[in-house]
């Protein structure tokens, strides 16, 4: 079962099927604890495709995001043209936008995930990850064993098959679970 992308969802890192939080009694984007069976799901055990991508796998914003840079430049040009001494500084904003688009990413390695955001980067090892949290409008978060959450920039629900393959099955693919249930 693949829930509607607008609902909050937790994908457990132990190979469980996705659980809709509203049905499991959790409210307001809270996370249900995944049952720790101590065994990790592997692609061979879950029946996933035997092809495994090379690591590290990098998840970035689409190249389409760079189309916002010339549009921001046009807006900045109009603003700077209105009053160059007061609004001339806006001409640098499109450069910062392009640098931001190039910077944010999530990298999957053999050791875990690396979330690179605007001003920071955080490494999370695989044993720390309990699951993923998908909220209605917020970013995807990795839920850690100590119940903290780490934002994973550029990861979407549609990236789960690729993320599952890159994680070697540590993060299950709900699309494959839905297909297997049919």
Domain boundary among 103, 119, 134: 103
Domain-located, residue 35: no
Region of residue 62 (phi > 0: left; psi between -120 and 50: alpha; otherwise: beta): beta
54 and 143 in a single domain? The answer is yes
Domain-located, residue 133: yes
Residue 8 pLDDT grade (very low, low, confident, very high; cuts 50, 70, 90): low
Residue 10 pLDDT grade (very low, low, confident, very high; cuts 50, 70, 90): low
pLDDT of 66 > 60? The answer is yes
Domain-located, residue 38: no
Are the C-beta atoms of 34 and 24 separated by less than 8 Å? Answer: no
147 and 161 in a single domain? The answer is yes
The candidate with the shortest Cα–Cα distance to 176, out of 49, 3, 6, is 49
Q: Rounded CA gap, 96 and 88, in Å?
A: 15
pLDDT at 180: 80
112 and 174 in a single domain? The answer is yes
56 and 138 in a single domain? The answer is yes
119 and 179 in a single domain? The answer is yes
Domain-located, residue 32: no
pLDDT per position as a tens digit, 123-178: 999 999 999 999 888 899 999 999 999 999 999 999 999 999 999 999 988 888 77
pLDDT at 43: 41
> Average pLDDT over the chain, rounded to whole?
80
75 and 135 in a single domain? The answer is no
131 and 48 in a single domain? The answer is yes
76 and 165 in a single domain? The answer is no
71 and 119 in a single domain? The answer is no
Any idea what DSSP says for residue 33?
Answer: P
Residue 12 pLDDT grade (very low, low, confident, very high; cuts 50, 70, 90): low
90 and 180 in a single domain? The answer is no
pLDDT of 41 > 70? The answer is no
Residue 34 pLDDT grade (very low, low, confident, very high; cuts 50, 70, 90): very low
Domain boundary among 51, 75, 103: 103
Region of residue 124 (phi > 0: left; psi between -120 and 50: alpha; otherwise: beta): beta
20 and 4 in a single domain? The answer is yes
Domain-located, residue 77: yes
Domain that holds residue 67: 62-103
Residue 19 pLDDT grade (very low, low, confident, very high; cuts 50, 70, 90): very low
Domain boundary among 103, 133, 153: 103
111 and 54 in a single domain? The answer is yes
pLDDT at 51: 72
Report how many domains make up the chain: 2
Are the C-beta atoms of 162 and 53 separated by less than 8 Å? Answer: yes
pLDDT at 11: 60
Three-class DSSP category at 132: strand
The candidate with the shortest Cα–Cα distance to 38, out of 103, 127, 131, is 127
Domain-located, residue 34: no
């Amino acid at each position: 079962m693949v829930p509607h992308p607008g609902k909050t969802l937790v994908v457990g890192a132990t190979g469980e099927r996705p659980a809709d939080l509203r049905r499991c009694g959790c409210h307001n984007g809270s996370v249900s604890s995944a049952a720790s069976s101590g065994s990790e799901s592997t692609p061979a055990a879950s029946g996933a495709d035997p092809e495994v991508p090379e690591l590290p796998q990098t998840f970035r914003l689409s190249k389409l995001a760079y189309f916002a840079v010339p549009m921001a430049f046009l807006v900045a040009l109009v603003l700077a043209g209105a009053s160059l001494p007061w609004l001339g500084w806006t001409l640098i904003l499109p450069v910062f936008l392009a640098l931001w688009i190039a910077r944010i990413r999530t990298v999957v390695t053999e050791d875990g995930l690396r979330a690179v955001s605007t001003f920071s980067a955080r490494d999370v090892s695989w044993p720390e990850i309990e699951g993923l949290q998908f909220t209605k409008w917020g970013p995807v978060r990795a839920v850690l064993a100590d119940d903290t959450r780490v934002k994973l920039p550029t990861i979407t629900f549609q990236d789960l098959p690729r993320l599952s393959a890159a994680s070697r099955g540590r993060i299950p693919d709900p699309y494959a679970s839905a297909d297997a249930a049919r």
